[in-house]
Amino acid sequence: MDPMEMATLWESILSELKNYIPEKLYEAWIKSSIIPYSYENDILTLDTINQFVCGFVQKKYSTILTNSASHVIGRPTKVILISSEASLPKKPVTPEAETVQFKEEEKNETCTITVSQKPENIISEQELPDFPINDAQPLFSQENFSSPSEESIEELNSNYTFNSFIVGNSNRIAHAAALSIAEAPAVKYNPFFIYGGSGLGKTHLMHAIGHRIREKFPNLRLRCITSEDFANELISSIQDKNPESFRQQYRNIDVLLVDDIQFLENKEHTQEEFFHTFNKLYKDHKQMVFTSDRPPQDIKKMEDRLRSRFQGGMVTSIDPPDLETRMAILRKKAELEHVEIKKDAVDFIASNVNENIRELEGAFVRVLMQASEEKSPITLELTQRALKDLVQSKEEKKYITIDEIQRTVCQFYKIKIDDLLGKKKTKTIALPRQIAMYLCRELTTNTFPHIGKSFGGRDHTTVMHACDKVIKMTEKNEQFKSMIDQLNIMIKGVDK
């Protein structure tokens, strides 16, 4: 199952878990402490932030996790909890086990568990911060290092922090892994490889890691750079006949953040130098984070030995934000700019700009400028004027609603909307319903769970099954494919 499908599945399971676990405990021990690892052969593997959390969640919530996963997936599912840090070197374990007690305020229960190593700075569940304390220590000691240079601080964009990063279905796994890395560099997910299209937040997330590490570990030596700058510095060092200085600069740091690593393609000498830098840092248990516009296996003109090292850590994608996330981003921007913006204006921008976050922010700036020129509040009418050229330049309608698709399919098949959304499973209703679900997935940015809710509260797996069925039918039946194409044209032709 690919990262996007895993994120969608985990999102649905989280929604189910919220019904059974008190809010504070859910936020601290489930939502912020677990990310999906894999789902194969009816086995869902979840990765926890550290071994302590793994043991506690296993003790307290394994039954709830299993039941919730089975309910969402629609068949019996086994849930396995792991902590990927377990494969890394650990601090010496004390011979005597420690006993730790936790008291759940909402249920007034006390759960006693025995662990082989007591985490430092244990606090009660009620006192947990937004992201749980990670008991695992980085595989280096801060005391051995001098203060960071001003250069390393200036390399980080002050606007790119976790606080300003909007989390949605398209980036939830990447965000959770990034937080884990920032809390304990080089403990797990090393190297960390983020890929996705331009303007989706890869650089933002990488810089956020840098800022958090700088806050928590101020004496660590951190370097944030683009791959192009890395290549240029290497060339300069060769011209200056001082390549050893360049090597020492990069091979004696604690955290290396490299943006747009794909630009090392075709640069054989630079790849050779980077390969040895990577090996030295990895051997010394130093954290590395890379961003790219594509996954490692698709960087074709990269040396196999380097590509395989990228794949040896955690590789995750950031996809275009869905409608709900785009709306949240716009509301956050308005909050930061201290301006009020009407809900229908937010809807209009988010609906018509869905390629990437950079374009979304650009559209928001245009609206702000229009409001400033007219000395007017940000209404739908003003927003439409500000973005008139942008919307008209689109060759086809950018925003299609689920309602429009449902109405068009009902008209095409001459069935009632109540039947389409209802419980009837006759072929004359079931097939149009599956086609409508497929078109919603193809023509909108809505997630499987959201589409399912819009079809009478159906489960997201029902939508996934419908999409798979329609795709297979279009591949086998040319007449059926032609009918789907006709529906596509009708839906895109709906008047705005």
Q: Which residues are annotated as a binding site for ATP?
A: 199, 201-203
Q: Residue 46 and residue 66: Cα distance in Å, rounded?
A: 11
**Is the Cα dihedral 151, 154, 160, 162 positive or negative?**
positive
Phi, psi of 288 (to 5 degrees): -130, 135
Please give the Cα distance from 171 to 316 (Å, whole number).
9
Report residue 102: phi and psi, to 5°: -125, 140
Question: Would you call 396 helix, strand, or coil by DSSP?
Answer: coil
CB 429 within 8 A of CB 420: yes
Q: Check if the beta carbon of residue 182 is closer than 8 Å to that of residue 209.
A: yes
Amino acid 199 reads G
Q: Please work out, in degrees rounded to the nearest 5, the angle formed at the alpha carbon of residue 472 by the alpha carbons of 439 and 410.
A: 35
Helices then strands, counting H and E runs in the chain, come out as 21, 10
Instruction: Name, in order, each residue with C-beta under 8 angstroms of 356's C-beta and a sequence gap of 6 or more.
Output: 197, 198, 199, 200, 320
Measure the CA dihedral 3/403/390/395, to 10°. Answer: 90
Strand partners, 225: 258
Q: Are 314 and 189 in contact (CB under 8 A)?
A: yes
d(C-alpha 216, C-alpha 196), whole Å = 28
> Quick count: other Cβ atoms within 10 Å of Cβ 129?
9
Q: Are 153 and 227 in contact (CB under 8 A)?
A: no
Task: Name the binding residues.
Answer: 199, 201-203
